[in-house]
Structures are given as C-alpha cells and as structure tokens.
Amino acid sequence: MSSPYVRRRRLAIELRALREAHGLTADELAARIHQSRIKISKLENAHTRPDLSDVMNILRVLEVPDAEWRRYMELAADAAQKGWWDKYGDAMGERQRVYADLESGADIIREYHPGLLPGPMQTPEYILALIQLTQAARPLKYSVDRLVQARLQRKGQILRANGPRYEVVLDEVGLRRYSGPADVYVAQLHHIVEVAESNSHVAVRVLPLRTAPIGELMPRAQLSVYTFPDPADPTIVVEATVATDLIVTESAEVAANLRRYDHVRDAALSEVSSLSFLGSLADEISSTAG
C-alpha cells in the first residue's frame, strides 16, 4: 500500500493549489461546501484523513473536469486509508505511528542513528530495556505491551521478503555509549549482524570514530529518509529530536539532509567491515562486563 500520510500531503498541496487558482479563500470554499474553515485548513495541511464526500464537493465547486476526477478521488481514497498501526491507537505512541505510516509505502529507507539502535532491528529485550529507562525518567504515554507488539510488527514489515530496501548508518560513538544491561545489548548487536547477513535488502554500516573531516555535513540528529515508488510522491525526511519528530518536505531542506546522509554513508566502513566491527564490539563488551 502507499503511505496514507504521504498521499494526504499530496492531496493537500493539490487541493490548495486548485483553490488558489480559482481565486477563492479557505473561508469562501468552506462556505460553498457548507463546512467550517477549520475543516478546510486541516485538509489543506494534511492534518486529518480526508472525507471523500467533502473532496467530491470541493471538486464540483472548483469545476474540476471529469477526466481529472478519478485521479483526485483515488488520491483521496489512498489518503483516507487506515493501516495496521491504527488498531493500536495511542497505545503505541504517536511517533511510532508516523514511522509505521511512512515505512508502509516506502521503496527505500535510509537512516543515520547517532545513539539508539534502529527500531526495525530491535529485539524484544532491547525494546523493554529502553522502555524501562524512559519509565524511570517520566510517565509513559503509551502501553508497554502494545508498543513492543507494534515495534515488532514494524520490524516484520521491513524485513519481509518483498520489503523496502533498508540501509542504516550507525555511529561508533553511540554504539559504545550503550544503554541497558550489557548482556541485552550484546545480544542486540549480534542480532543486527544476523539480520543484515540474512536479508539481502538490508545494509548496515558503521561510522567510525576516525574519519575524514565531516564538519557542516554531519547530520544534526537522528535522520530517516523515505523514498517512494511513485515519482509523484515526494521524498520525506524525518529528523528525530528528544521531544518530537520534525517532518521535512521542502525540497531544498530535503536535498540538504540527503547530502548529509550521503556524506556519513560514504565516510562509513564497508558493509562487511561494519558487521565485523559489530561482532568485535559485542565480544569486547561481553568480555569487559564479564
């Protein structure tokens, strides 16, 4: 399926452009379809699933030719779709739902992780260890059991036989500053190696401590880049911060983030050397902890 979130953004951009081309304000359009301005605003900013009857009324008011109706309505139907993540509601957390939505339609996923290990490769034990650390710092806004189930389902979606090309760059600094019990982390590192070796569409690289100067091209935070099979669907970048995820769609900023990602990827170890590094690091931590 296509990503409902990405299709909502496409629909929002196109409907706003149509309205503006007809010289109508959001208030005027709302009055003509007997809806509130807030509803039009949410639709044009991709903040809600579209109501198909509202979209049909908008197309009528804006005198969209019959030949174009099908394309708009198919786009609206895709945007209104519900995914597997919706059955979890708030129990899995808003941030997890956004990632699951984008992953659902992606053809290629590229990530840079300076700290925590990537969600689609986490073991249940590692997930629980991270949750316990979060729980010690602040009250949880999600259900522990449901979050674990949802994250494992995300993992299954990416690692399925016909899943998206998944490439991740891990930073050695973050790998050495691990959280949680050493035995859980060691098992997690071995698991990443196993996943990469057994899935041809998964690539793992490690950015070592010593590289050529990176400077301004260093990503500012954890970075995820989603590319979709339909060329009309824009590339989406997500920058993860402590409090929220910043979704980047503006073309110049997306291009800047792609350059940052490509730079750390090119500075990273090869796939073979990276997996060897992870195995050696796991042995080192196991020996030290033991």
pLDDT in tens, 30-46: 999 999 999 999 999 99
Q: Using CA atoms, how far apart are residues 73 and 208, in angstroms rounded to an integer?
A: 49
Are residue 157 and residue 262 in the same domain, yes or no?
A: yes
Are residue 168 and residue 52 in the same domain, yes or no?
A: no
Is residue 141's pLDDT more than 70?
Answer: yes
Are residue 170 and residue 192 in the same domain, yes or no?
A: yes
Are residue 119 and residue 76 in the same domain, yes or no?
A: no
Number of domains making up the chain = 2
163 three-state secondary structure: coil
Other residues' Cβ atoms within 10 Å of the Cβ of residue 244: 11
248: left (phi over 0), alpha (psi -120 to 50) or beta: beta
Helices (H), the chain: 4-21, 26-32, 37-44, 52-61, 66-80, 94-105, 124-137, 144-159, 172-176, 182-198, 251-267, 271-289
Are residue 14 and residue 136 in the same domain, yes or no?
A: no
The CATH number linked to 207 is: 3.30.870
Is the distance from CB of 189 to CB of 131 less than 8 angstroms?
A: no
Is the distance from CB of 111 to CB of 168 less than 8 angstroms?
A: yes
Is residue 56's pLDDT more than 70?
Answer: yes
- Out of 80, 109, 137, a domain closes at 80
pLDDT tens profile 170-192: 999 999 998 789 999 999 999 99
Q: What is the pLDDT of residue 42?
A: 93
Are residue 96 and residue 139 in the same domain, yes or no?
A: yes
Q: Supply φ then ψ for residue 141, to 5 degrees.
A: -105, 15
Are residue 47 and residue 30 in the same domain, yes or no?
A: yes
The CATH number linked to 73 is: 1.10.260.40
Is the distance from CB of 205 to CB of 269 less than 8 angstroms?
A: yes
- Out of 31, 58, 80, a domain closes at 80
Q: Confidence class of residue 91 from pLDDT cuts 50, 70 and 90?
A: confident
Q: What is the pTM of this model?
A: 0.89
Are residue 25 and residue 169 in the same domain, yes or no?
A: no
Are residue 66 and residue 147 in the same domain, yes or no?
A: no
113 three-state secondary structure: strand
- Out of 62, 80, 98, a domain closes at 80
Chain centroid to CA 267: how far?
Answer: 23
Q: Confidence class of residue 168 from pLDDT cuts 50, 70 and 90?
A: very high
Are residue 253 and residue 237 in the same domain, yes or no?
A: yes
Q: Confidence class of residue 212 from pLDDT cuts 50, 70 and 90?
A: low
Is the distance from CB of 45 to CB of 5 less than 8 angstroms?
A: no
Beta pairing class for 222-227 and 108-113: antiparallel
Domain containing residue 65: 4-80
Report the range of poorest mean pLDDT among 92-106, 203-217, 234-248: 203-217
230: left (phi over 0), alpha (psi -120 to 50) or beta: beta
Q: What is the pLDDT of residue 214?
A: 66
Are residue 106 and residue 121 in the same domain, yes or no?
A: yes
Are residue 157 and residue 217 in the same domain, yes or no?
A: yes
